[in-house]
Structure 1
Amino acid sequence: MSPLLAIIMFAMGLTLTIADLREALTDPRPLIMGVCLQFILMPVLAFSISQALSLPSELLVGMMLVGTAPGGTASNVLAYLAGGRVALSIGMTTLSTLMAVFVMPFLCSVYLSTVIKVDQVGMLISILKIVILPVAGGVLLNALCPKLINRIKPCLPSIAVIGICSAITLVIAMNADALASLSAIVVVAVLLHNTLGLISGYVSARLCGMDIPTARTVAIEVGTQNTGLAAALAFKHFTVLAALPGAIFSMTQNILGALLASYWSAKPPKNRKPLTD
């Protein structure tokens, strides 16, 4: 699981340039809002939904790993399809990924301390190995060999998709018996989490005075989690069953995200005035 995710994160790093990040920083408000919703709203939703549905502790752990995870790389493609701001999406994904090194272990410890022992140091080291080093390596290689990377960039989404699909298949195969009896309640929990994240991201951005393309970007970013990281950490530090919410969320976020992006792509914003006007 970890090598698969490292490959995906390396591919993400290859797509990043300093210019992308500089553009995203021209207006830091949506960047800050997206990251705050990512690490405040999504964990609260995950915990609240798990408690409301009385999920067993293993699934609660899995929901919290998804809820505290950084933005997923698929959000960048979905933001483009939805008519959003791609540079902003890349900036939010990158910032939340970097912050996850410290924020994810801390939040898991806060929410799960009464349920299960959380190895914060172990999680931190795992995230460094699985996320930060591959991303940094990709960015460095892109800076050193831009012509070469531009040639292989069209292949990078396919590499990411293959890696994600392989990870999902592995998790589902290892949870085949549990899935038969728990699928309904887990799917309901994950769908609620995913849907509320998308809605909350969009509404929050509009209420804060952001234009439609920005609101679409924030919505997709908040509703798209790095489920591969959540599943990898579940395997490494918790139980196999704890990886199940991440696997299901990976499927629902890509289906819901694609449907939403398709809907928005057919509706170019006629005006960009915020709801507060």
Structure 2
Amino acid sequence: LDNPFKENAAMLVIQRAEDDLMLPIYDFYNHRNGDYLNTVNERINKERGQVDFKVYAASDIHEGEEINSSYNMCAGCGGRADNYGTPEIFMDYGFVEMYPQRWIFKEQDFYFDLSEKKNESGELTGDIELTWFKDGRPQSSHRRRVSVRFFVHQIVRIEGLKQLEHAKRKQVPEIQHAVPEYEWKKIWEYSDAMVDAMKRAIGANGESPGAGVADEDEGDDEDVCYEGDESCDASARTWETLPKYDNLDDESDDEFYEEAPY
């Protein structure tokens, strides 16, 4: 768009619209899930394209408390709850959601939530708890090990890239920066959150990314919480230093390689 006003209007619709509706006041509500989600909405489609949209308090909202909605866990969000998490929210809305966060690594078959842990009095302890989805990890220990190695490689790559890019940026005058400072900070805020999530997943998984793992692991689920298990009171295991270099020993795989024609 050549018109800045129209471009801004289009971005507001993408960021704040409730499907095809722009709703005064409601579009000021921020996104947050878990105990912080305190509204529920209801859409009623009527004749001739008319729509009633109602918003209710889902719990008592005290004076000064922020009113929150949800972009993926609302009553009308459909399948978003299962396949739309922190990365997708950042991609579509441009911010890293506060805890609780939902991380969905589809290709690695790792699905989990990160949330702030509370004590018996309901006060935040400062610790972060990882909760697996039901069937939130591959059943095969080999598949889990492959996924963990992927996470390790990405952590090393992203942390190295961050150091390199920050060093390069310091060498260029600010006026020549191709990426605005606000976007630059948001990019690395998201990358830091993703690295943290992968580290916690590795720790909670409890398997070494380099060593062979038996098909059935005893004690593999110790100190790990599963979704729906209210009796579980464990935090994700702490991140431990992992090897930063690949094992260069030959490893067999199931791929078929044709002889090169040259």
Work out which structure has the larger RCO, using CA pairs closer than 8 Å and 6 or more positions apart in sequence.
Answer: 1
Which of the two has higher C-alpha Rg?
A: 2
Structure showing the higher strand proportion among its residues? 2
TM-score range (shorter-chain normalised) is: under 0.3
Higher helix share: 1
The normalised TM-score by structure 1 is 0.25
In the superposition, the TM-score normalised over structure 2's length comes to 0.26
